[in-house]
A and B are shown apart, each in its own frame.
Chain A
């Protein structure tokens, strides 16, 4: 029985490192290869030893697909390809391919710089890994091999994020990665066509959330502050937000962004303008939204300048580098503010201040008193419960599987999906396998000749009344065709062989064989008036293709054996005749 198997190694009932194994029609695909920033040992990566116990990864996996550049979706990729040894193809969109190495490099620097880790992937490994990447365009069907094909759909979320359809023959799976069903200031909404996959694997981060209005959140955004961000991603959304606000309110306070990063971001957004939302694309010719008027490159010296300012600095969790340095400088003043726009892992200064800690122990037993205001404003762009339902409605899958969410919230959404769409919904934990039986539909072409012959019989085709059509099925070059037997024989250069059914009927008759045959002939002639019954010179009797021969019984002279044979076309008549003869012949009058 063909089946689709899905095993999350990460993102099964958690929001950690996404890594989902899918086995479809004999092909094995790994969806995302993320890392967990909360760990600094091997636990940060998925346990790849579970992918296969037999043989090399490269031989087992047909490809790896990366949905977007966030580290919880791609952070383990250089480790997987350069240290574990996967040497096969990796698919992602072009923006993801361009931006991925920047974030990987950022993370590598933090691991090496802050934690002094020696056994971490190197810059060269990141580059070698990126060389294995095959970039895909939106809506372009990419043949991974003769049977496996993939197709990317727009997912919103961050620049270059994509949902992927994985298809082998008539079986398909859609993996959403992270997506957003509502457009924001610089990205559009996720979209997929009615592809009716066997399975939709969807993220469920906000499985129980209905988003509040954005306007409400934006009104809060009025202070001059430090905003720790990751180099690329949601930072650009925040930049546009501030830029627009500064423009509207005619504000003069400077906004700074870590040196080099604005240029970098600009470069990529210009390069991948088709991936942004309609408004930005339309106005791009007159004015590039990413060329900010109010946002300038930051210099270390500016942090000491008097007066208000907003600084975007990396990294996003206040765990090292410039953002931490500025934070330490500003923390003591209650007029300052730090805005954390995203999730922070335990151990980082970001996590500490978000949980309300105000006295932080720093290096060398120093205690840093945090007097500045601390705000949390989520700007992450995931679909909420409504959005997820909308996507399920759009794609019309046969089954749904939830990943990238918390178990309790998933449970709620699962019930909702099952009730509303009447499809099965699964939520495997990490390491658990969901197996879905599939019934593959095999398209068969029917020859025109065969159809014409059927039509010639006078019956017009009727969709509501299917009827039997006899023909020969030819399987050639992975194609199936139904043709007439004659055509099949001709095409394949084969001689016709006839298959005959035979049956012996014992009759009590003391007369000679020839006489028995005559009696059979007479009997059938009288019973089967519409059929052509013949008595042949050799003594045998025929009815259409049915042949009846009478013979003496070897042991009992009082019994005659009737040998009846017929072709499969006359099977019905043949069966009828045998049962008739078994009843015996009428007594001679």
Chain B
């Protein structure tokens, strides 16, 4: 422990044990416990207590105190647990009888303080930390803690009840972890007494007629099979599985959710290798549970790596049932075999779907989500009924929009339940999007496009539904097959695009900003992936979408402006922003976009659009956008000038990113020997440049490059950023300057640099900047002076300082102890009144 902390500790312990002193807030106590955990993990707890007797004294004083706050008591219990986790320290505390007084009947357990959930929670957490060695087990048995933990499983506080269950598992695991316990027989007589007690309690609970007790037992077992790896768990399952199976005989099955969790936990453990009866239990459970309860179990079974085919088929059938019922209900006439090979939908599922709106919505949403999660997995059932599933998703969406009117009675009722239901719409659109990863018959894909278009056009679609519809559309468009022999979209997709763009146009004018934004995000993604495809270009240029997108740069909502910036940037990169420019004024339209984006960067009051502009500009520079390539120097100078004044640190940081790209182009990326000759360079991954030092550049070209950098005032920008009050900016600038210095290292000699007249003035200005006075500009810099200054700054030292989070001093234990001590007495004055 830090000597300063050791010095502060006695005073702090005195304050904590004094009921008259208001204690600092809970966060301080939590942080104090974190610190003790770190200290004891690094060294001997016994030594710590011996060197700091105030700690044991604190625990004794807490026990003696009558009116101590529950949180200090809770803190002390947890603290004692941390110390007693090491066996020698445990013995030390035992000698003073401190542990029974804290955790036994005579302690808080029997007092009024026990009514506070914080104390009960502290008691459990203390024991949880303490229970690490055989002595602890004996202690738990001797002080009767296990019985208390049993009762705490039903505690009024969810936190306490849950922690009690976790503690039981921990104790059981600890008891069974002995050296000779490799393979335990299921016979209780072979097990340690403590484990026997817990297992008997679990058995009793499983036989209980009270559902909460059954739930507790099942939850404990779920954790056992999820976390404990010993072979004894197999014996445990052999012993308990008949009791678990007996739960299935009850109607309704009690604690079904917990039962499902347990069975899946067992199935994922090593048990199935020894007990094939588990599959039988799983099959029985699937058939006993209601469709809603069985869904999660079915999904869990299908996710298992290794399980019998018959069980998988049964599970898949359960997931498909709700959609099969929907298809059956909506069918105008008996059709070809559907989802379940033509078999009728299960009457129980149909009943659930029709009994109430909430049951129907719940079941359908679960089925759609489960199937959507299953779709991308390698272990998904094969064959995967892609076409019927597409049909089902489309049917569900049509029932929700009211665009189909089933003639059957059941269909009509289903339609009445689902029409306008946003929850099902959202789940179905997500599912439809997930299905885009598989191929489908042409007819199905046409239906998909048609229903997506219907949703995108519908005035009834909410903004969230529209967002999901755009996302699903994007996934389908990107996965649509290309015309054989060329990389363009197939005719059907092109046709769909032509219908889609007017809808997008309309949505870009929506009064709802969420919709405009979702539309722009869709357009950006489409352009990014399909900007080079003739079909897409043709359709887009024939529409008013590019013009509208540009207009949205003036949107009142900053999110939309930012998305419009990204979208126009992307359109412009693919020369899609306007009709082809006339031969007299090539690129005139796009030039005006550059000006417009520069205006956004300088004038927009919100950070999002300005950040978006910086990202677009960086991309333009990296990809050699035509407008930038015309005069990159001027471009960079203007952008850096604007970025350096920006109040948003992310804009300034992005400015450094752009500067790095420019540097790479001038001096060549890592490993390049030919600076200045790089017109469209491949860039090094950002942020990695400083770590992997680049090779030096030849002196002649370097001098020219430095001249350019000076002209665009990159150094002024970078030096200012080096002393930025926002750490990421300073860090990025440091990386950039290190990269530059390494590139130029062998070129400039100290003499050259020393000759430069304004080195001293630059250094003086930088010192003032470092002190926070950034008013004065650097003015024009000579390359020689820059290099000299670069060599004189301790960039490595600065980098190390910046690598630490800026609150590392405040986060230190010393700071914590000081703060807690300083807060004594002033807490009452400056009462925590929140915000």
Contacts and interface: CB of A to CB of B under 8 A. Distances in A.
Contacts of A355: 819, 822-823, 826, 830
Given A356-B822, A432-B117, A342 B835 contact: yes
A67 interface: no
Contacts of A88: 423
Nearest to A324: B725
Contacts of B284: none
Most buried by A among B648, B775, B834: B834
Contact of A342 (B804, B826, B833): B833
Interface stretch (B20-28, B228-236, B677-685): B20-28
A303 B358 contact: no
Interface in A345-403: 345-349, 351-352, 354-357, 361-364, 376, 378, 380, 382
Nearest to B463: A131
Interface in A198-257: 205-206, 230, 233-234
Given A53-B261, A363-B804, 7 more contacts: A55-B366, A71-B835, A127-B559, A178-B834, A259-B647, A301-B775, A363-B801
Nearest to A361: B809
A431 B117 contact: yes
Interface in A311-364: 319-322, 324-325, 328-329, 340, 342-343, 345-349, 351-352, 354-357, 361-364
Contacts of A206: 833
Given A301-B774, A364-B801, A432-B117, A53 B822 contact: no
Interface of A is mostly: loop
Contacts of B734: none
Interface in B788-835: 801, 804-811, 815-816, 818-820, 822-823, 826, 829-835
B605 A346 contact: no
A570 interface: no
A571 interface: no
Interface string A128-143: 0011100000000000
Interface in B458-509: 463-464, 467
11 contacts: A47-B159, A88-B423, A114-B807, A130-B559, A205-B833, A303-B772, A325-B725, A346-B31, A347-B810, A347-B811, A347-B816
Given A39-B27, A116-B805, A361-B809, A376 B362 contact: no
Contact of B426 (A87, A101, A131, A145): A87
B517 interface: yes
Interface string B9-30: 0000000000000001111101
Interface string A279-304: 00000000000000000000011011
Nearest to A382: B833
User: What are the nearest 10 A-B pairs in CB distance?
Assistant: A54-B257, A38-B27, A431-B159, A355-B822, A301-B775, A431-B157, A325-B725, A431-B158, A347-B810, A355-B823
B822 A258 contact: no
A72 B296 CA distance: 34
B822 A431 contact: no
Given A113-B649, A113-B727, A429-B118, A26 B358 contact: yes
Contacts of B386: none
Contacts of B357: 145-146
B650 interface: yes
Contacts of A349: 810
Interface residue range, chain A: 35 or more
Interface in A398-436: 404, 429-433
Contact of B25 (A123, A178, A320, A346): A346
Nearest to B369: A56
Contacts of A89: 422, 464
Interface in A466-515: none
Nearest to A321: B725
B160 interface: yes
Interface of B: 24-28, 30-31, 116-118, 156-160, 162, 219, 257-258, 260-261, 296, 357-358, 362, 365-366, 369, 422-423, 426, 463-464, 467, 514, 517-518, 559, 605-608, 611, 647-650, 725-728, 772-775, 801, 804-811, 815-816, 818-820, 822-823, 826, 829-835
A529 B650 CA distance: 102
Interface stretch (A260-268, A441-449, A534-542, A555-563): A260-268
A113 B728 contact: yes
A36 interface: yes
Contacts of A43: 30
Given A206-B833, A347-B815, A131 B807 contact: no
Most buried by A among B831, B833, B835: B835
Most buried by A among B647, B805, B816: B647
Nearest to B361: A145
A273 to B, nearest CB: 16
A176 interface: no
B280 to A, nearest CB: 24
Nearest to B365: A59
A96 interface: no
Contacts of A328: 772
Nearest to B257: A54
Contacts of B607: 105, 260
Contacts of A109: 649-650
Contacts of B30: 39, 43
B606 A264 contact: yes
B117 A351 contact: no
Contacts of B261: 53-54
B157 A356 contact: no
Contacts of B116: 429
B567 to A, nearest CB: 14
Contact of A55 (B26, B257, B801, B831): B257
Contacts of A172: none
Nearest to A114: B806
B811 to A, nearest CB: 6
A201 B647 CA distance: 41
A93 interface: no
B834 A205 contact: yes
B258 A380 contact: no
Contacts of A87: 426
A301 B160 CA distance: 55
Given A56-B369, A347-B810, A260 B647 contact: yes
A531 interface: no
B159 A430 contact: yes
Contacts of B28: 346
A112 interface: yes
A151 B191 CA distance: 59
A221 B655 CA distance: 41
A109 B607 CA distance: 12
A7 interface: yes
Contacts of B27: 36, 38-39, 345-346
A88 B728 CA distance: 35
A380 B805 contact: no
B613 to A, nearest CB: 14
Contact of B517 (A50, A127, A260, A356): A127
Contact of B833 (A7, A116, A343): A343
B517 to A, nearest CB: 7
B807 A347 contact: yes
Given A113-B649, A114-B727, A351-B819, A72 B835 contact: yes
A431 to B, nearest CB: 4
Interface in A29-75: 36, 38-40, 43, 47, 50, 53-56, 58-59, 70-72
A264 to B, nearest CB: 6
Contacts of A309: none
Contacts of B117: 429-432
Given A131-B517, A260-B647, A351-B819, A433 B156 contact: yes
A206 B726 CA distance: 36
Nearest to A366: B809
A14 interface: yes
Contacts of B816: 346-347
A264 B647 CA distance: 13
